[in-house]
Amino acid sequence: MSIGLADTTLLRNAAYIDGHWVQAAKEKTFQVHNPATSDVLANVPDMDAEDARRAIQAAERALPEWRALSAKQRSQKLRAWYDLITEHADDLALLLTSEQGKPLPEAKGEILSGASFVEWFAEEAKRIDGDLLPSQAPDRRELVLKQAVGVVGAITPWNFPSSMITRKVSPALAAGCTVVIKPAEDTPLSALALADLAERAGIPAGVLNVVTASHGAEVGTELATNPAVRKLSFTGSTAVGKLLMEQAAGTVKKISLELGGNAPFLVFEDADLDQAVAAAMQMKFINAGQTCICVNRLMVQDTIHDEFVERFAAAVDQLTVGNGTEMGVKQGPLINRKGLDKVETLVTDAVGKGAQVVRGGERHALGGTFYQPTVLTGVTPTMACFSNEIFGPVAGIIRFSSEQEAVRLANDTPYGLAAYFFTRDMGRIWRVGEGLEYGMVGANTGRFVSETIPFGGVKESGIGREGSKYGIDEFLETKLLCIGGIEPLG
């Protein structure tokens, strides 16, 4: 169907392997739907392990030539890809909203954010350097080289179907690796559009491949177990990440995992409440709460609890729910029925255990997978929404009385991705910032994600970092080169 793209070729209905747009070997397909309207957007190949092996073999064949290019040559290809992404940002955003549901301004923001990773790593390609070590003997020289790890398998999620691809693929290509991408089954069209633009940018056949599948387990297992894949990068649930980690152990491949979160948002009594409410709104309801760094547990000090709830609820009243392509919409649908059912179950559990519904708490009148922006008070650690990642527009508010209690509650989770807190006490900023067991902590700010920061978590929220100068290290091997037999001068 037509969704109003200026460049209609960006809506692809074929996978991309070895520089060709192909169908599944078994000729199966599956439908991609618009979650806001249930319209069918496209039928794409439903691939399996056989197709994944074909893509891995293509990446393996392309590796020597791509790795042999100079850093500057790879940089130029990435820069051309960046230019095309930004040139087609409006179309890419419309395509993203159509298959994922987030409001169009959020989608455009994701496209430009994703492009920034391509630009950043195009520049970082030229900054991969090693070391000359102090020599341990007069006839010897010892060097440290950084070399591409090899073929990379990248498995990406549906909540950020464009930027999660560029955040993985760009450093891999910059390092000299080749890539096989398995996008989420709900949102493969953004991945295919990026592959189309990569082809136009002159990235050679086999360097970037996209394998689509309605159920990712078979393709994911192939990427995790195939010995030709030397690095696996996954963003998704902790449960699937653990399974992939176990599978990848068989070939001892490098692995990076960006997994689930359970982000606390602490508001201390000395906080700027206007600032805290604005940040809480942004980090709770972005993408309808379907983000791994979304606020999951709002913790507010006793003395300001009621005032915060009043201000926060008033701000929630201003949210407009609807189709993400419509003007003024701030919250779109949940991605699918499974996501809706999970949110309903968590709210029902909380209310059954004593939580009070201040706003929302039910399916939206729009039907489908739309859910009302919801505020709950009286949330306690006994409720499932305290310990489970909500992934929906539900804000559960918890009281605390002391700094020590706040940090203890915040750390009472196996996850450790992102955390936020608000206070104007500089000593508290240091104490709480250092005490929170999270890979990323924001003090008096909600949004801090960019191409320049290392994104990743601790504990069961993952391994490794994406973005920043550290992100390219995930795709490099460190090699010692020792040169002996060097005769002394004279």
Query: Is residue 479, in this structure, part of any structural domain at all?
Result: no
Cα 263 from chain centre: 15
Strands (E), 403-485: 418-422, 440-443, 462-463, 476-483
Specify which residues 463 forms β-bridges with: 257
Q: Closest Cα to residue 248, out of 155, 186, 316?
A: 155
**Which residues, 6+ apart, have CB-to-CB distance to 75 below 8 Å?**
122, 123, 125, 126, 174
Number of domains in the chain: 2
User: 194: which 2 tokens?
Assistant: 């990026």
Query: Is residue 469, in this structure, part of any structural domain at all?
Result: no
Single out the residue in 201, 235, 259 at which a domain terminates. Answer: 259
For position 103, what pLDDT does the model report?
Answer: 98
Kindly state whether residues 158 and 291 are assigned to the same domain. Answer: no
Distance CA 212, CA 48 (A): 9
Helix axes 71-87, 89-100, angle to 10 degrees: 70
For position 158, what pLDDT does the model report?
Answer: 97
Query: Is residue 128, in this structure, part of any structural domain at all?
Result: yes
Kindly state whether residues 294 and 230 are assigned to the same domain. Answer: no
Using a cut of 0.85, tell me whether the model's pTM lies above it: yes
Single out the residue in 225, 259, 293 at which a domain terminates. Answer: 259
For position 74, what pLDDT does the model report?
Answer: 98
Distance CA 219, CA 478 (A): 29
Judged by DSSP in three states, 218 sits in: helix
Kindly state whether residues 83 and 191 are assigned to the same domain. Answer: yes
Residue pair 230/252 in contact by the 8 Å Cβ criterion: no
Kindly state whether residues 72 and 134 are assigned to the same domain. Answer: yes
Distance CA 125, CA 122 (A): 5
Kindly state whether residues 39 and 16 are assigned to the same domain. Answer: yes
DSSP 107-142: HHHHHHHHHHHHHHHHHHGGG---EEEPPSSTT-EE
Distance CA 395, CA 32 (A): 30
Kindly state whether residues 340 and 252 are assigned to the same domain. Answer: no
- CA atoms lying within 13 Å on the CB side of residue 461: 25
**Number of Cβ within a 10 Å radius of residue 221:** 15
Query: Is residue 458, in this structure, part of any structural domain at all?
Result: no
Q: What is the dihedral of CA 22, 170, 49, 461, to 10 degrees?
A: -140
Query: What single letter denotes the amino acid at residue 114?
Result: G
Query: Is residue 79, in this structure, part of any structural domain at all?
Result: yes
Kindly state whether residues 78 and 180 are assigned to the same domain. Answer: yes
**Which residues, 6+ apart, have CB-to-CB distance to 356 below 8 Å?**
376, 377, 378
Residue tagged 């290809």 (tokens): 77
Helix axes 163-175, 71-87, angle to 10 degrees: 160
Query: Is residue 484, in this structure, part of any structural domain at all?
Result: no
Kindly state whether residues 309 and 250 are assigned to the same domain. Answer: no
Residue pair 34/41 in contact by the 8 Å Cβ criterion: yes
- Domain interval for residue 400: 263-443
Kindly state whether residues 166 and 179 are assigned to the same domain. Answer: yes
Q: What is the CATH number of the domain that holds 341?
A: 3.40.309.10
Query: Is residue 425, in this structure, part of any structural domain at all?
Result: yes
Single out the residue in 259, 283, 306 at which a domain terminates. Answer: 259
Query: Is residue 417, in this structure, part of any structural domain at all?
Result: yes
Kindly state whether residues 109 and 224 are assigned to the same domain. Answer: yes
Distance CA 302, CA 105 (A): 36
Q: What is the CATH number of the domain that holds 223?
A: 3.40.605.10
Kindly state whether residues 146 and 230 are assigned to the same domain. Answer: yes
Kindly state whether residues 254 and 288 are assigned to the same domain. Answer: no
Cα 395 from chain centre: 21
Specify which residues 21 forms β-bridges with: 16
pLDDT in tens, the chain (490 residues): 679 999 999 999 999 999 999 999 999 999 999 999 999 999 999 999 999 999 999 999 999 999 999 999 999 999 999 999 999 999 999 999 999 999 999 999 999 999 999 999 999 999 999 999 998 899 999 999 999 999 999 999 999 999 999 999 999 999 999 999 999 999 999 999 999 999 999 999 999 999 999 998 999 999 999 999 999 999 999 999 999 999 999 999 999 999 999 999 999 999 999 999 999 999 999 999 999 999 999 999 999 999 999 999 999 999 999 999 999 999 999 999 999 999 999 999 999 999 999 999 999 999 999 999 999 999 999 999 999 999 999 999 999 999 999 999 999 999 999 999 999 999 999 999 999 999 999 999 998 889 999 999 999 999 999 999 999 999 999 999 999 999 988 7
Give the full edge-to-edge strand order of the sheet including 208-210: 20-22, 15-17, 208-210, 178-182, 151-155, 229-235, 254-258, 462-463
* Catalytic residue ranges: 258, 292
